[in-house]
Amino acid sequence: MATKRSPIGIAQRCMGIDCEGSTCVAEQAEKQGVVTYIQRMNRRAIEPCLFGQGGTCCRNCSFGPCMMIEGVPESIGLCGATPATVAARNFSRMVAAGSSAHMDHALETAKAFLAVAKGESEYKIKDEKKLRALAEVFEIKTEGRSTKDIAIELGEKALAEFGKQDGSLYCIKRAPEKRQELWKKLGVIPRGIQREVVELMHRTHMGTDQDYHNLIFQATRCALADGWGASMISTELQDIMFGTPVPIRAVVNLGVLSEDEVNIIVHGHEPILSEAMAIVSQDPELIEAAKKVGAKGINLAGVCCTGNEVLMRHGIPIAGSFIQQEIVLATGAVEAMVVDVQCVMQSLPVVAGCFHTAVITTSDRARIPGAEHIEVHHHNALEAARKIIQRAIDKYPQRGKVNIPQNKMDVVAGFSHETINHMLGGAFRASYRPLNDNIINGRIRGVGAVVGCDSMRVRSGYVHTTVVKELIANDVLVLVTGCAATACGRAGLLRPEAAELAGPGLREVCETVGMPPVLHMGSCVDNSRILIAATEIVREGGLGDDIYQIPAAGCAPEWMSEKAIAIGQYFVASGVFVVFGRTFPTTGSKVLTDYLFKEMENLYGGMWAVESDPVKMAQLMIQRIEKGREALGIQEKKERVLYDMEMRRELE
Ligand code: NFS
């Protein structure tokens, strides 16, 4: 099944990096013997295994691996497992792993939050209003109670969600009522955050759940425990502790690295560390220490979703997305890259070893051979951040020749769902009404979420930006998170000026409000903000009474992570049409793929699709949006009526 392919030039692989006009970092690095994903791509002579890629390779017991071809009668597992069962088990395990990543992140956040509530942490409660609002969701009495009391009870109840065995998660109540009724009817309401992963892993064990419908049912319950449970807890508690994002200007791409400052990169996912780094990097004593070694100061920048967290809340620049992490180091300009969990390449210490750079791991859950380790917890975050920054300062005098491309781009980030309220509704009339009205009158045709990773296996950057440009040109307001957001940022799509690329209706709305047509809503756990925004749209009225009725669609054009599968599954189960790019992990079984791509819509109102061509992907989303408009009876663009004084008086 393996096919040979010819080597691919750096220029083709580097599309996501956009350092045209400067000395190509990857090319320069290659000359110095630095190996990054670009060389690894060329060294591997084979394409991915087709059985593995399509989900029909079973290695859940020692009889196998059993590789099977659906439709060939004797092509089943030694135990009799069919390709559909195997593909469903593999898909479910991806959901379980992806959800677990978000759940463990959320668990750390809840533990940190409880410590903050009790006054046992250096962090403080920053958003009291949000604290009280979330307390209501958790059925906590707020009237006449101190912030501390409420926060402690909230922390305890949030933490208890992880070990709960029965009942329902509190945040499920935030979904539109119709959706909750549907979930209840289908029996997929998660009972506890961790329970659903354990049960899913059990069911996928050899000889347990053999029915692909039943497996996907539990995968759905697990994914919902992620989206409406863990990820939502992370986003909300992080906002309460570190501040709810508001629109903020910042800069992205490799050019944010500084030639004459100590460059420190925060990379990974949990903001417990990066928040501390943001605070401590301003410390005059440390800045003085940096000056003593000949630097002008300390320059903090982000990579991956940690980058998105500090960008959203502090306007700290992003040096790169997932695909750029090695290239950031290959500039030779980074003194320290500090990582915690998820999406961190094992090759980082190898690349760093070609320069003076220290790679520092900080979580006991994620060690890398060749990296230094400084353990960070919520109770020692500031002290550890100080140690890390000092380590970076010590490295500065060893810096050799650097190659920092000039490329950087302005962005506006910080669009929490609360911000969308104020931005469109104004300070005194904060609501989703103006957004709903603009969707109803057709200036905005609908909402498209473009989320997820960037990929080495596609023309990275091009894919994201092509989808997004196609959507906005067709008057679809785009919401972005994760590395997709960074790719859009590099391409200038997160600036109000990008409204020039939008269709006339969306452009008019953007220019009136002064907002970009593509709204950066945060990291991947912040996809929960999109769930809440969708719920607010439903609540505001006029666009149906459930999420599946909103003219909306989602996509992850360059997905690679198991987390992306978990996210896609909770969006589908929430009623959203979700398109993934390039490949889908069940295509080896038509039976299962048909279930996910067609039958799920009958149950949930949302379904999966796969499409590699970015223009076609956008068109699929637009078709879904127009179908939604038609079902609502708003498919015809209403004529704009310009009221004169007399008409206004009549109205009054
Ligand atoms: Ni999401 Fe973030 Fe990026 Fe993909 Fe990885 S950083 S949590 S998984 S690669 S978007």
Give the position, in ligand 1's atom list, of the atom nearest the Cα of 484.
10
Query: 305 alpha carbon to ligand 1 midpoint, in Å?
Result: 6
Taking CA atoms only, the protein residue closest to ligand 1 atom 2 is: 305
Please say whether the beta carbons of 454 and 423 come within 8 A: no
Taking CA atoms only, the protein residue closest to ligand 1 atom 4 is: 453
Residue 25's pLDDT is what? 85
Residue 379 has pLDDT above 70, yes or no: yes
Rounded to whole angstroms, the Cα distance separating 337 from 267 reads 7
Residue 29's pLDDT is what? 85
Q: Which residues pair with 642 in a beta bridge?
A: none
Please say whether the beta carbons of 586 and 593 come within 8 A: yes
Taking CA atoms only, the protein residue closest to ligand 1 atom 7 is: 524
Backbone angles phi, psi at 435, to 5 degrees: -65, -50
Please state the length of the chain.
652
Q: Where in the chain is the domain with CATH 1.20.1270.30?
A: 83-242
Mean pLDDT for the chain overall: 93
Residue 32's pLDDT is what? 87
Selection from 363, 256, 348 nearest residue 300 by Cα: 256
> What dihedral do alpha carbons 218, 221, 226, 229 form, nearest 10°?
-150
Q: Which strands, in side-by-side order, build the sheet including 476-480? A: 518-520, 476-480, 446-450, 552-556, 578-580, 608-610
Q: Domain 83-242 falls in which CATH fold? A: Substrate Binding Domain Of Dnak; Chain:A; Domain 2 (1.20.1270)
DSSP 8-state secondary structure symbol assigned to residue 261: S
Give the position, in ligand 1's atom list, of the atom nearest the Cα of 524.
7
pLDDT band at 49 (very low <50, low <70, confident <90, very high): confident
The tens digit of pLDDT for each residue in 600-616 reads 999 999 999 999 999 99
Please say whether the beta carbons of 349 and 359 come within 8 A: yes
| CATH class of this structure's domain 254-398 | alpha beta
Ligand 1, residues 325, 524, 525: which to mutate, most atoms within 8 A of Cβ?
524
Ligand 1, residues 105, 323, 342: which to mutate, most atoms within 8 A of Cβ?
342
Query: 561 alpha carbon to ligand 1 midpoint, in Å?
Result: 7
Query: 481 alpha carbon to ligand 1 midpoint, in Å?
Result: 9
Selection from 530, 573, 554, 527 nearest residue 218 by Cα: 573
How are beta strands 318-320 and 298-303 bridged, if at all? Answer: parallel
Taking CA atoms only, the protein residue closest to ligand 1 atom 5 is: 343
Query: 98 alpha carbon to ligand 1 midpoint, in Å?
Result: 11
Ligand 1, residues 226, 561, 580, 582: which to mutate, most atoms within 8 A of Cβ?
561
Residue 426 has pLDDT above 70, yes or no: no
pTM of the model: 0.94
pLDDT band at 460 (very low <50, low <70, confident <90, very high): confident
Angstrom CA distances, 89 to 96, 206, 211, stand at 10, 9, 9
Mean pLDDT is highest, among 43-57, 68-82, 427-441, 555-569, for 555-569
Query: 541 alpha carbon to ligand 1 midpoint, in Å?
Result: 33
Residue 525 has pLDDT above 70, yes or no: yes
Ligand 1, residues 95, 269, 453: which to mutate, most atoms within 8 A of Cβ?
453
Please say whether the beta carbons of 291 and 313 come within 8 A: no
pLDDT band at 289 (very low <50, low <70, confident <90, very high): very high
Taking CA atoms only, the protein residue closest to ligand 1 atom 10 is: 453
Give Dmax over CA atoms of the chain in angstroms: 82
**Cis upstream peptide for 65 (omega within 30°):** yes
Residue 6 has pLDDT above 50, yes or no: no
Query: 324 alpha carbon to ligand 1 midpoint, in Å?
Result: 12
What residues does ligand 1 touch, defined as CB less than 6 Å away?
A: 269, 304-305, 322, 343, 452-453, 482-483, 523-524, 561, 563
Give the position, in ligand 1's atom list, of the atom nearest the Cα of 454.
9
Residue 64's pLDDT is what? 84
Query: 549 alpha carbon to ligand 1 midpoint, in Å?
Result: 28
Question: What are the DSSP calls for 465-512, one per residue?
Answer: HHHHHHHHHTTEEEEE-HHHHHHHHHTTTTSGGGGGGS-HHHHHHHHH
Q: Where in the chain is the domain with CATH 3.40.50.2030?
A: 254-398, 424-632
pLDDT band at 41 (very low <50, low <70, confident <90, very high): confident
Query: 562 alpha carbon to ligand 1 midpoint, in Å?
Result: 10
Choosing among 3.30.70.270, 3.30.428.10, 3.40.50.2030, 3.90.650.10, the CATH entry for 424-632 is 3.40.50.2030
The tens digit of pLDDT for each residue in 233-288 reads 999 999 999 999 999 999 999 999 999 999 999 999 999 999 999 999 999 999 99
Taking CA atoms only, the protein residue closest to ligand 1 atom 6 is: 304
Ligand 1, residues 94, 323, 483: which to mutate, most atoms within 8 A of Cβ?
483
Give the position, in ligand 1's atom list, of the atom nearest the Cα of 560.
4
Query: 186 alpha carbon to ligand 1 midpoint, in Å?
Result: 30
pLDDT band at 651 (very low <50, low <70, confident <90, very high): low
Q: How large is the average pLDDT for residues 388-397?
A: 98
Taking CA atoms only, the protein residue closest to ligand 1 atom 9 is: 453
Alpha helix (H) residue ranges in 359-481: 381-395, 417-425, 433-440, 462-473
How are beta strands 446-450 and 476-480 bridged, if at all? Answer: parallel
